[in-house]
Chains A and B, each alone.
Chain A
Amino acid sequence: MPNKNFNSENLELKDTLEINFTLNSVKRSVKVPCTYTLLDILRYELKFTGTKEGCGMGECGACTVIMDGGVTPACLVLATTLEGRDIWTIEGISAKDDAKPIIDAFVARTATQCGFCTPGMVVASYHLLSKYVSPTDDQILEALSGNLCRCTGYVKIIEAVKAAARDLNTVKKEGRDA
């Protein structure tokens, strides 16, 4: 549907896209079918398999990543909407110093059983603790309300987030005192 007033490329039907985005602070460029989601790009194109596919419908939270500062289901981000975005996955987040207390707390409290929901849980917990230093119980429940776990019954996960918050506060306090 050509029109001289517009950039013709924007008016063409596309089935393949070249997408530029930032993944864990590294610039990436991928050429993928337009039917690919961010989850497909991460797992199949870039082999970042830490982000899991659960329901594929945005209900379970297993594929949670941080996109432009917000918790986001990677299964519902289509390649075209990924252009120019800033993405953090569990691989990037778990390498950060302030994620270590969260991961340690999940391990120490057995907040993980089969482990499939864990990357999404850790990403959602990391996002919560980067917003609130000492979250209330309601804030924790709210922050994890989009993440399903079929093993633990959630109690140990919530305990782990609380423990991680205490730990992070202690680290920060010691940092200030030192």
Chain B
Amino acid sequence: MLRNFKVLTPSSLNEVLYVISHIDQPYRFLCGGTDVLVRMKDNPAYAKVLVDISKIRELAKIEEHKSTYVIGSGAKHDAVLAYAPFVEKYNGLVEAVAAIGSPQIRSIGTLGGNIGNASPAGDSIAPLMAFDAEVELRSHESNRIVKLEDFFIGPGKSVMKSNEIITKIILPKFDGLRSGWKRLGQRRAVTISKVSAALAINCVKHPNGSIRVADVKIALGAVAPTVIRARKTEKFLLETPNLNAAAVKQACEIACRESRPITDIRSNTEYRSEMCGVLLGDLIDRLVFGR
């Protein structure tokens, strides 16, 4: 049973910002609770105060703007999966979010929680990072936008300050990108990824049959202290005159070398590194060659 903590129940975002800038003891946000309560059952010292943000309605919205989609940090995984424009155009994000936890976890867990935890294995992060997503961090005094790629600084660590909250995830609109996500885990459901990869790609086929990569974004999960963009692999693919089997193989090898995985209870360095290439190859096969 849980014990030894208190709760704060602010009723608006302004109240949230006020309490987190004045609170004088370690606190954690509570929205879905799928991570924070599990951690507190393991370690009662994890937080002395929980700030309940589950009823702040403006944090749960998903909205379309001119050149972006704005996802409230308190939007549940199920809400992301039910949002038609994502299902239509952000397949990589939908595939990843649909693989998080179980139906029970997805009905209460939130996208902001998945990001705020800053786990290198957080499944929604790789596709969001591949799509150049940004997060809005707000405090009582300030408001800043940080690229998701610059948000994480290590396992469980981010640039978010103790008086800040993630309010929004900002997802740019794209034309022509096809995207996908794939992971390897111990089981098919209720599993933490050993390694995951997100790919968004736009290819142009020339009349002579050669394929040029017009745009490509790759993010790799659980193979470095944070989710990472595979910038060298992206650069190689963009400069490749023809995306044939040999070029795909080479790109996958570069992705393996870009990863910096560790050995832990879920997998080991060698396997994770090699699987980066395998997952990327599978995604290219599916999204570019329809295999």
User: In this assembly, does B52 line the interface, its C-beta being within 8 Å of a C-beta of chain A?
Assistant: yes
User: In this assembly, does A114 line the interface, its C-beta being within 8 Å of a C-beta of chain B?
Assistant: no
Return the contact of A78 from the options B23, B49, B50, B78 (Cβ within 8 A): B50
Kindly list chain B residues whose C-beta atoms are within 8 Å of the C-beta of A40. Answer: 1
A11–B16 CA distance with the chains assembled, in angstroms: 9
Kindly list chain A residues whose C-beta atoms are within 8 Å of the C-beta of B38. Answer: 57-58, 76
Contact across chains for B5 and A35 when beta carbons are under 8 A apart: yes
A10–B14 CA distance with the chains assembled, in angstroms: 11
Interface residues of B in 80-117 (CB under 8 A from A): 101-105, 107-108
How many chain-B residues does the 8 Å CB contact rule pick out?
Answer: 42
Given A11-B15, A13-B7, A83-B55, A1 contacting B2 (CB threshold 8 A): no
Given A78-B50, A124-B103, A35 contacting B9 (CB threshold 8 A): no
Contact across chains for A71 and B104 when beta carbons are under 8 A apart: yes
Kindly list chain A residues whose C-beta atoms are within 8 Å of the C-beta of B54. Answer: 80-81
Return the contact of A14 from the options B7, B23, B102, B107 (Cβ within 8 A): B7
Contact across chains for B107 and A72 when beta carbons are under 8 A apart: yes
Point out which of B10, B18, B102 has the most chain A C-beta atoms below 10 A from its C-beta.
Answer: B102
A6–B18 CA distance with the chains assembled, in angstroms: 9
Return the contact of B103 from the options A1, A17, A36, A145 (Cβ within 8 A): A145
Interface residues of B in 12-26 (CB under 8 A from A): 12, 14-15, 18-19, 22-23
- In the complex formed, the residue of B with least CB distance to A69 is B107
User: In this assembly, does A104 line the interface, its C-beta being within 8 Å of a C-beta of chain B?
Assistant: no
Return the contact of A146 from the options B10, B78, B101 (Cβ within 8 A): B101
User: In this assembly, does B161 line the interface, its C-beta being within 8 Å of a C-beta of chain A?
Assistant: no
User: In this assembly, does A143 line the interface, its C-beta being within 8 Å of a C-beta of chain B?
Assistant: yes
Kindly list chain B residues whose C-beta atoms are within 8 Å of the C-beta of A36. Answer: 2
User: In this assembly, does B3 line the interface, its C-beta being within 8 Å of a C-beta of chain A?
Assistant: yes
Smallest beta-carbon distance A76→chain B, Å: 5
User: In this assembly, does A42 line the interface, its C-beta being within 8 Å of a C-beta of chain B?
Assistant: no
User: In this assembly, does A23 line the interface, its C-beta being within 8 Å of a C-beta of chain B?
Assistant: no
User: In this assembly, does A73 line the interface, its C-beta being within 8 Å of a C-beta of chain B?
Assistant: yes
A64–B10 CA distance with the chains assembled, in angstroms: 28
Contact across chains for B103 and A77 when beta carbons are under 8 A apart: no
Contact across chains for A56 and B41 when beta carbons are under 8 A apart: yes
User: In this assembly, does B30 line the interface, its C-beta being within 8 Å of a C-beta of chain A?
Assistant: yes
Contact across chains for B2 and A10 when beta carbons are under 8 A apart: no
User: In this assembly, does A101 line the interface, its C-beta being within 8 Å of a C-beta of chain B?
Assistant: no
Contact across chains for A81 and B30 when beta carbons are under 8 A apart: yes
User: In this assembly, does A45 line the interface, its C-beta being within 8 Å of a C-beta of chain B?
Assistant: no
User: In this assembly, does A137 line the interface, its C-beta being within 8 Å of a C-beta of chain B?
Assistant: no
Given A35-B1, A35-B3, A40-B1, A10 contacting B104 (CB threshold 8 A): no
Contact across chains for A37 and B37 when beta carbons are under 8 A apart: yes
Report A41-83 CB contacts with B as 1/0, cut-off 8 Å: 0000000000000001111010010010011110111101101
- In the complex formed, the residue of B with least CB distance to A124 is B103
Contact across chains for A17 and B7 when beta carbons are under 8 A apart: yes
Kindly list chain B residues whose C-beta atoms are within 8 Å of the C-beta of A12. Answer: 8
Given A6-B14, A40-B1, A34 contacting B189 (CB threshold 8 A): no
- In the complex formed, the residue of B with least CB distance to A83 is B55
Smallest beta-carbon distance B77→chain A, Å: 10
Kindly list chain A residues whose C-beta atoms are within 8 Å of the C-beta of B41. Answer: 56-57
Contact across chains for B3 and A11 when beta carbons are under 8 A apart: no
A12–B10 CA distance with the chains assembled, in angstroms: 9
Kindly list chain B residues whose C-beta atoms are within 8 Å of the C-beta of A124. Answer: 103-104
User: In this assembly, does A3 line the interface, its C-beta being within 8 Å of a C-beta of chain B?
Assistant: yes
Smallest beta-carbon distance B7→chain A, Å: 5
Kindly list chain B residues whose C-beta atoms are within 8 Å of the C-beta of A11. Answer: 8, 10, 15, 18-19
Contact across chains for B105 and A58 when beta carbons are under 8 A apart: yes
User: In this assembly, does A174 line the interface, its C-beta being within 8 Å of a C-beta of chain B?
Assistant: no
Point out which of A14, A64, A146, A147 has the most chain B C-beta atoms below 10 A from its C-beta.
Answer: A146
Interface residues of A (CB under 8 A from B): 1, 3, 5-7, 10-15, 17, 34-37, 40, 56-59, 61, 64, 67, 70-73, 75-78, 80-81, 83-84, 124, 142-143, 145-147
**Would you give 16 A-B contacts (Cβ < 8 Å), ordered by A?**
A13-B7, A13-B49, A17-B9, A37-B37, A56-B41, A59-B190, A70-B78, A71-B104, A73-B105, A78-B50, A81-B30, A84-B55, A145-B189, A146-B104, A146-B105, A147-B102
